[in-house]
Amino acid sequence: MPERLEGGNMNAVKLDSGNVLRDAGPWSPSVHALLDHLRSEGVQGIPLPLELDVERGRERLSYLDGHVPQFPLPTWVWRESVLTSGAQLLRTLHDASESFSTAGRTWQQPTREPAEVVCHNDFAPHNLVFDDGHQLVGVIDWDMCSPGPRLHDLAVFATRAVPLTVDLPADGPSAADLRARIQTVLDAYRSEATIDELLASAASGLRFLADHSRAAAARLDKPDLAVHARLYERDATAIESGRLV
């Protein structure tokens, strides 16, 4: 009998015979094609597409062995090594996606301009896979990916991993640490963007996520997603006003 995996607020995820079973949608062929392309470019640490049945709305992917942090996130997630290894992996994924043809593709999220790369759009600790020594080994949950600017995806990662929230974890970084942690992310990615540019992108991303979560709450009858939406809006306002960083 398939075993339900942790996570999956938007999508039911189960483990079956060592593979991952997920709900599929019109965007799934594009996601599978992207994952195959990234593999062909030598990228490791991503799921391997195994089967897709669009009519039945199911897909099968390889399972990445390791630990995916769940909320409340463990203390080790706030180590600087997670910031650097995460940003470096994201740079690798982005660079490999540049040669992927997005023409005629369908995506679950909108294309954002400039469409420099294919963004994961939820590159965050709760979608990252770590080994027993807390070293980053991969990233899962690709169904929200779409073309967009590098900085957007980097800001998504910073929002979750720095983190950029009013409710800073008691066992994590303090508000005084945030600017330095953002710069660590930018440096590890080798980005030329400024801290303020990343913050502006982060706030915009949170506004989009709030709208998306509010719509999903109504569609899926999950009131907790509406609560998440209010928190995203609160954090976006704190970033825009300069109260957070």
Query: What number of CA atoms fall less than 13 Å from residue 4's CA on the CB side?
Result: 6
What pLDDT sits at residue 25? 96
Other C-beta atoms lying within 10 Å of the C-beta of residue 7: 16
Whether 43 and 90 have beta carbons less than 8 Å apart is answered as no
Q: Which residue has the tokens 């306002």?
A: 237
- Amino acid, res. 46: I
Domain ranges of the chain: 3-62, 75-241
Cα distances from 206 to residues 8, 121, 159, 187, 240, in angstroms, run 19, 11, 9, 23, 11
What pLDDT sits at residue 7? 45
Alpha carbon distance 12, 199 (integer Å)? 32
Q: How far is CA 69 from the centre of its chain?
A: 13
pLDDT along the chain (245 residues), means of 10: 49 87 97 99 98 94 97 97 99 99 97 98 98 98 98 99 98 97 99 99 98 94 96 98 95
What pLDDT sits at residue 12? 72
Alpha carbon distance 174, 227 (integer Å)? 24
- Tokens, residue 201: 């992108």
Query: What number of CA atoms fall less than 13 Å from residue 38's CA on the CB side?
Result: 28
What pLDDT sits at residue 1? 42
> What is the distance between the terminal CA atoms of the chain, rounded to a whole angstrom?
48
Alpha carbon distance 40, 132 (integer Å)? 27
User: Which superfamily is assigned to 75-241 in CATH?
Assistant: Aminoglycoside phosphotransferase (APH), C-terminal lobe (3.90.1200.10)
To the nearest 5 percent, what fractions of the chain are helix, strand and coil? Answer: 45, 15, 40
